[in-house]
Amino acid sequence: MKLNWKEIRGKLTAKTVLLYVVYAALAVASGGVFDGNLTFGLFVGAVYSANPVVAAVIYLGGSAVFGWGSLLQAGVKTAIVMIAVAAHYFAKRKIGKAMLLLYLVAANAFYVAYGFTDYFGLFDKFLYAACGIAFAYVCIYTFRAVFVRGLSYRPALDETVCIGLFVTVASYCFSQISFGTMQLIYFVAPFALLFAAVCFGDKASLCAAVLMGVGNVLATGEYGCCVFCTVASLVAVVLCKISRYLGALGVLLADVLMSYFLNLHGVFDVASVAPAFASALVFAVVPNRVYAYVRDACSDSAERYLSKTVVQKMGDTVSRRLVRLSDIFLSMKNAFFTMSAGTVSAEDAERAIVRQCSDTVCRDCDSRTRCWRQELAQTEQSLLQLGVCAVKRGRCTILDVPQSLSVKCDKVSGLLSEVNAQAQVYRSYKERAETADNGKALLGEQLGGVSDLLLQIADETKNRTGYDRTREQELVDKLIFHNVLCSGAVIARQKEIVTVVVTVARKDLDNETVEKVVSAVIKQNVAVERVEKTESDVWVNVLLAVKPRYNVTFGVCSAPKEGSEVSGDTHTVTRTDNGKCIIALCDGMGSGAKAEQMSATSIGLVESFYRAGFDNDTILSCVNRLLVGGGNEIFCAVDMVVLDLYNGLADFIKLGACSGLVRASGKVEIVSGSSLPLGVLDAMTPSITKKALAGGDTVVLMSDGVADCFNDPNAVANAFAEVALNVPQSIAETLLNKALKRCNNRPADDMTVVVAKIA
C-alpha cells in the first residue's frame, strides 16, 4: 500500500469531490454506530485515496456532532494516523499491510483504555475497535477501486468483495437513521437500485439489492426492506430497459403498493412514502447525459478494445505499403544491375590494338602491301603477341617482339610505343568501368537488401496480433494485489514475440514487483524495457519484453606488432533488437594506423548492418564491395559469431580468419573455415558453420598473430583446455600471455584474443 498524498493546493477532480461527498455523508451516518469506529475506518480509507488533511477535517467535523468525548477520541486517532502518514511521506517509504495494522492498533489504544467501567464494556470496546480496523481495510480497497482507478476498469476479486461489504455496512448505517415515519434507507435504496440498473446492468442492480437488504436486516432485524429492495431491483431492471422514467415510476409504485398492502413502513401515510418519492424524483431529474457518461465509462464491451482492432487494420495497411516499397527497391536493384555496362574483354582489346597499329604506324610504310596483304596472317599473329603481353603486364619491351616481325619491320620501336600506349588506355578504361560497375552493383545489392528487409517487416506487421483478455485482467488483479495500482494491461503476441504493456500509478511503480508479477502471469521471464509518460501525471506505461534465454559476458586482450604503436585488430560485442549477439574480430592486413582504420571501418559497417536487420549474405557482400572499390590494398580478415540469445543457435562466419575455439562440457572443439579475406575478390563466399551453444559454453576468437605463435590449431586448443579459469577476461589474458611467451614477447603481427561466455 502506498499513500496518495496530495498537496493541499492541488486541484480537485470530479472523482475527488464525489469521494468527499460520499465520505462526509457516511461519516455523519456512521458516527453513532459501533461507538464511531466505522467512521474511523472511513477516515483511513480516505487518507489512502484523497488528501489526508481534508480527510482528517471531515472526520473531526463529523465526530464533533456526537459530543466532546467522540471528538476527543477522534482527535487522538487522527493525530496518530497523521504522524505515521507524515513520517512515511518524508521517508518516501510505503506503509505495508502489517505496518498499517500496527498504526491502527496504536490509534485505538486510547479509545480502548479510556472510559470503560467493567470488563463487559472493555470487551465491547475491543470488538468495536476490531470492526473499525477491519472496515478501514475495506474502505481502502473500495475507495481505490471506485474513486482512484475509476469504474472504467473491472474491480479485482478482493476489491469486489470489499465493495460488497462496504455497501452492506453503508446500508446498515443508513437503516438506523429515521425522521418520524420517514426512513433514510428508503431514499438511498431506490436511487441506488435505479442507478445501478441504468449504468451497471442487471446483475449489479440485483447484487446491490441483496447487499442493501442484508444491511437493513442486520440493523433492524426486519425483512421488509430486504423484500422491497429485491422487488424494486426487479422492477428497475425490467422497466429501465424501456425508459428510465418508467423505471423510476415503477419503483415508486412498488413502495406505495407494498406500504398499502403489506404495511412496509408500519403505517401508510404521505410521510412514509415521501423518501421513495424524493428518491425517484431525484433519479428522474438528473440529466440523461450523466447516466450516459457513467455507462460509457463503465462499459466492458468490445468498444474498449476498439483500439486493438484499429491496430490490426493499421498493421494490414502498413504491411501493404511496405510490400509496394519493397517492389520499388527490387526494381531499382534490377535496374542498377542491368545498367552495369561491363568491360571490353582482353581478347577484344588485343585485336583492337592490332587494328590501331595497322591504321597508324603501318599506314605510310613502304612494306604495308607485303605485310598486310601477302603475309596478313603472320603479321596479325606477331602484333597480337605484342598486344597480349602489353595487356597482361601493362607494357611490352623489345624482348617481346617476335623474330618474324623484327627481321622484316623497320618500325619496331613505333609499334612498341603504340602498343604500350593503347594498352595503357585500355587499362585506364577498364579501371573506370569496373569502378562504375562495382558502384552500381553495390547500390544494387544494398537496394536488394532493403527490399528483403522491407518484406520481412511487412510480414511481421501483417501478422495478426493476438490479445489475451483473460490474462490481461488477471495481470491487473495481481498487480493490485501486490499494491501496484494498475488501470489496464495489454498482452500482445505476434508469432513468438510477446510484448506486455501495463498502465500503473507513477507513485506505485516498482520495476522488480512488476517484472515478478508479469512473469508469473504469462509464464515467461520478462524485463522492463522502458517506462513511458502518459497524458496524465498520475499514470505511466511500463513496457516489458521477454528476457532472452541466454546472456553473454566477454573479455578481450591484445598486443600490437613489435615496433607498431597501434594494433590493426578491432573487435565488437553487441546485441541487436531482435535478440541476437554479434561477436566479431576484424584483422586489418598489415599493421599500424592504416590497418586499424580499415578494420575499424569494416567492423563498424558490419555492426551497423546487423543492427538494421540485414541478412549475412547482404552484409558481407556489401562490405566486401566497399573494400574492393576503395582503391586500397589492405584486406580484412573477419571472424564473427552471430548468436541467437533465445535458442542458443550460433553462426560462425569466417572470411580469411584463423580457426576459433569452443569449449562445451569440458571439451574444446576447433572451428575452422576456408575463405579469402574481405576486399580480395569482387565476389566472396563466407565460410559459415552452425552450432548449438548452451549456458556455460565458451567461445574464443583470435587474430592470426596469436595463431601463428602456436603454429598449430591443436596447440592453441590444448593451451585453451589447460586454462581452468571461467572469467572471460582472465581467459583472454592467459591465452595471450601464452602466445607472447612462445614468440619471446616479440609479436611478429598484431595479436588479439576475444573470449565470450554464454550464461
DSSP annotation of 68 reads H
pLDDT of residue 10: 41
The secondary structure of residue 269, as a DSSP letter, is S
Q: What is the pLDDT of residue 309?
A: 46
pLDDT of residue 435: 66
Extract the residue ranges of the chain whose pLDDT is less than 50. Answer: 1-11, 300-307, 309-310, 313-314, 630-631
What is the enclosing helix (H) or strand (E) of 485?
none
Question: pLDDT at position 659, please?
Answer: 86
β-bridge mates for residue 660, sequence order: 671
pLDDT, tens digit, for every residue of 469-503?
778 888 888 888 888 888 888 888 766 678 888 98
Encoded amino acid at 721, one letter: A
Rg (CA), the chain: 44
H or E segment at 638?
strand 636-644
pLDDT at 279: 95
Q: What is the pLDDT of residue 116?
A: 67
User: What is d(CA 238, CA 202) in angstroms, rounded to the nearest whole number?
Assistant: 9
pLDDT tens-digit readout, 411-450: 888 888 888 888 888 888 777 776 666 666 656 666 666 6
Residue at 532: amino acid letter: E
Full 3-state SS string of 297-354: HHCCCHHHHHHHHHHHHHHHHHHHHHHHHHHHHHHHHHHHHHHCCCCCCHHHHHHHHH
Q: Report the topology of domain 552-758.
A: Phosphatase 2c; domain 1 (3.60.40)
pLDDT at 545: 86
